[in-house]
Amino acid sequence: MGPIDPEKPADAFQELSRWGVPAWATAIRKCIDQSTSDPISRYAQIATVDSLGKPHLRTLVMRGCLGELSKDHTNDHPMDFWMATDHRSSKIQELAFEPQVEIGWYFPGPREQFRLSGTISILTQTQCPIRSKAWQSLSTQAKVGFYWPTPLEIRDPTNEKAFQVHHGVIHALNPPDSFSVLVMRVARVDHLILQGDPQNRYIYDFKPDKGWVETQVNP
Ligand SMILES: Cc1cc2nc3c(=O)[nH]c(=O)nc-3n(C[C@H](O)[C@H](O)[C@H](O)COP(=O)(O)O)c2cc1C
């Protein structure tokens, strides 16, 4: 599930360069465009908390914007980011308890960090068109992991066959129940640009009455 799909174009993030998008979106799009040869730039860290308030952090592939998946459907939030994950993984329970998250996304080339705060919604087993399109956009390598045995269960060395997935199954149009799409609605962005002396840092807050408000702060 981890590796990035090499065939995936940066156009999965096209929505970030449309007219009228906030400056943080343009900045992320610019970083993506400057990092097309660097797969690491599509990995981000997503932090959740569990019901005891304990933090959990892991790496995920930032797969694109929702607008690219829902081109034929009305979508009020085309800039939402989406990620793919296993519905049986621990983060799903954590997100059900607390949907607010922070994502840390660093682009090594341009040396810019984005900390995205917001809320995650989970698209689960229902066969909605967005979830199916997300599934179809994954590489075979990315799809295979969703057919593996349950994450975190003790590995059974006598049953390694369970990891061998029939490719005919993988190419089915409908995703397996284990496939979930995480949709991130961004409410605040903390953008740090390391290049420059002094460095530059901007905070973007979404206010329901004003829209996006940008403030330059000390780094
Ligand atoms: C480079 C890299 C990319 C990864 N991409 C994903 C991903 O796109 N989706 C995912 O669910 N897990 C991905 N993983 C695995 C997660 O980091 C994590 O181990 C897994 O999702 C289980 O997390 P959880 O137990 O907190 O739910 C990736 C790991 C690495 C190292």
Q: What is the pLDDT of residues 128-172, one digit of tens each?
A: 889 999 999 999 999 999 999 999 999 999 999 999 988 888 888
User: Which of 49, 58, 87, 105 for a ligand 1 pocket mutation test, highest count of atoms within 8 Å of Cβ?
Assistant: 58
Whether 57 and 44 have beta carbons less than 8 Å apart is answered as: no
- Of all protein residues, the one whose alpha carbon is nearest to atom 19 of ligand 1 is 58
Q: What is the pLDDT of residues 14-64, one digit of tens each?
A: 899 888 899 999 999 999 999 999 999 999 999 999 999 999 999 999 999
Domain 10-150+158-217: give its CATH architecture. Answer: Roll (2.30)
Whether 128 and 183 have beta carbons less than 8 Å apart is answered as: no
> What does the domain layout of the chain look like in residue ranges?
10-150+158-217
Cis peptide preceding 9, ω within 30 of 0:
no
CA separation for the pair 65, 71 (Å, rounded): 11
For the record, the structure tokens of 130 come out as: 């967005």
Nearest-CA neighbor of 85 among 118, 52, 134?
Answer: 134
User: Which of 59, 82, 122 for a ligand 1 pocket mutation test, highest count of atoms within 8 Å of Cβ?
Assistant: 59
C-alpha distance from residue 193 to each of 36, 111, 136 (Å): 19, 6, 35
- Of all protein residues, the one whose alpha carbon is nearest to atom 22 of ligand 1 is 89
CA separation for the pair 87, 91 (Å, rounded): 8
